[in-house]
Amino acid sequence: MAFQKILIANRGEIAVRLIRACRELGIQTAAVYSEVDAGAQHVRLADEAVLIGPAEPAESYLNIERIIAAARAAGCEAIHPGYGFLSESPDFAQTVEDAGIVFIGPPAEAIRRMGVKTEARAIMAAAGVPVVPGFQGATATDADFQQAAAEIGYPVMVKAAGGGGGKGIRIVHQPGELAEALGAARREAEHAFGDPTLYLEKYIAHARHIEVQVLADTHGNTVHLFERECSVQRRHQKIVEETPSPHLTPDIRARMGAAAVEAARAVGYVNAGTVEFIADFDGNFYFMEMNTRLQVEHPITELVTGIDLAQIQIRIAAGERLPFRQEDLSQRGHAIECRVYAEDPSSGFLPATGKILKSIEPIGPGIRVDAGVVTGDSVSLHYDPLVAKLIVLAGDRAAAIRRMDAALGQYAILGLTTNLGFLRDVIRHPDFAAGQIDTEWVEATLLPWTSEEVEVPVEALIAAALSELGAGMNAAGGAESDGDQFSPWGRMDGFRVGQ
């Protein structure tokens, strides 16, 4: 392996995932952290860690100069951006390259061209990739948008040109709603992306959100690793993903995969990326956007293809060829991922913060947990409240649903409100079992959601009892240390001499 040490320019679950991938390749890692993350799991797992600033992302995880300085100080030959933060910043990718460090991701120009959604649409249309009917124009007035919307036909979607993560999007059903939607979307886009540019797309009701994983090396080889169904969403943000999609026929799957490969080639793409499509129930699909990074939901693709996407990213960045051709790839079994968030679904999915008193992860055949926190860690108000990703693999979709239901039932997180109960309601719903899900299904069927009393898992009760029992014991199993509340021997937070 060409790299001896890699800087992980991220935090939380994805930083932990990448550190473990590097460890398996025999590569050392350097983590970066903000002041509030000094005791975070990714800091503990890395070979070394560099403080890059206060809690505010703009002063730490979004500060390009400090991240480059950290990579130089740690002697890293490459930087992996993970997802979120600077992962889709062409300025960051270019600055890394200019500093003589390898960026583990696509070229800066590919990020820039795909990051501006209006330009991406134009490139895809020129490449023969089907796009949703729409309207775009950097200098377009509200009157231009009104005329275009009338020609496209309502409903339409107002979308931010530089958008992502569900921000800067409004669905407009009537002409009288458009002006207000344009103003609101511009304000949100300016705040989130620093770019108020908008465009219109025809809104496809009851659509499926299906994305295709692509890989491209520096030797001209590009392949797809099939699709992921991402239609279970709230506020345009994914909650549950699965592969294969229960919606696609072999013919549609092949055509969609070929379109994704053409999309990647059209921009000279290198490394891992995802081409996202909107599909209807009649077999039509349209390009939506390209995410120029590793996706949150990448583990389900790993499970059905047997390919470690994090490791292959590193190998591509080191100049290696893809070790397989398209005809070598296939899907085996069915995988589902649920995103476990510290949030309250019964209160509009408001984020929850605080300390995790006890985390009991499910274990068993075909169960994988990618977690960014463990018992004793805290979820901060400064960052995304993703706690973990629960992933299962089984022989077929019905078996995968049963396995996920059982795994969610075994998962216990004490001290924080989470969406575990909500996720279980999704998995158990007959519509989900039948594959009759679209991007509007959550809002139409499950919201507003009210938590029901559920039986606390036996494991959680045992953990709580042991915790209370241990609270009065010292590290050697003896009595509490002379009533000294500050004595380390009376603490149950993992303190050990020499650690």
Residue 308: φ, ψ to 5°:
-80, 105
Query: What are the boundaries of each domain within the chain?
Result: 5-104, 133-202, 208-446, 458-490
Query: In CATH, which of 3.40.50.20, 2.10.109.10, 3.40.50.1000, 3.30.420.240 is domain 5-104?
Result: 3.40.50.20
* Residue 266 amino acid letter: A
DSSP H/E element including 350: strand 350-351
Chain centroid offset of residue 225 CA: 17
Q: One of 113, 121, 253, 293 is an active-site residue; which one?
A: 293
Q: How many CB atoms lie within 10 A of CB 331?
A: 17
**Within 371-481, where are the H helices?**
397-410, 420-428, 430-434, 441, 458-471
Residue 158 tokens read as 């107002």
Distance CA 343, CA 349 (A): 5
- The string of pLDDT tens digits covering residues 388-443 is 999 999 999 999 999 999 999 999 999 999 999 999 999 999 999 999 999 999 99
Distance CA 6, CA 72 (A): 11
3-state secondary structure at position 241: strand
Tell me the CATH class for 133-202. alpha beta
Contact 158, 181 (CB under 8 A): yes
Taken as a whole, the chain contains a residue count of 499
* Residue 20 amino acid letter: R
| Dihedral sign from CA coordinates of 440, 446, 449, 453 | negative
Distance CA 113, CA 199 (A): 16
Work out the pLDDT band at 101, boundaries 50, 70, 90.
very high
Q: Is the pLDDT at 249 greater than 60, yes or no?
A: yes
Judged by average pLDDT, the poorest of 29-33, 170-174, 491-495 is 491-495
Beta strands at 271-279 and 208-216: parallel, antiparallel or unpaired: antiparallel
Q: Is the pLDDT at 331 greater than 50, yes or no?
A: yes
The model carries a pTM of 0.85
Tell me the DSSP string of 129-146: --B--EEE-TT--HHHHH
Question: Check: CATH 3.30.470.20 for 208-446?
Answer: yes
Contact 449, 420 (CB under 8 A): no
Work out the pLDDT band at 3, boundaries 50, 70, 90.
very high
Catalytic residue flag (residue 496): no
Which class for 407: exposed (0-12), middle (13-18), buried (19 or more C-beta within 10 A)? Answer: buried
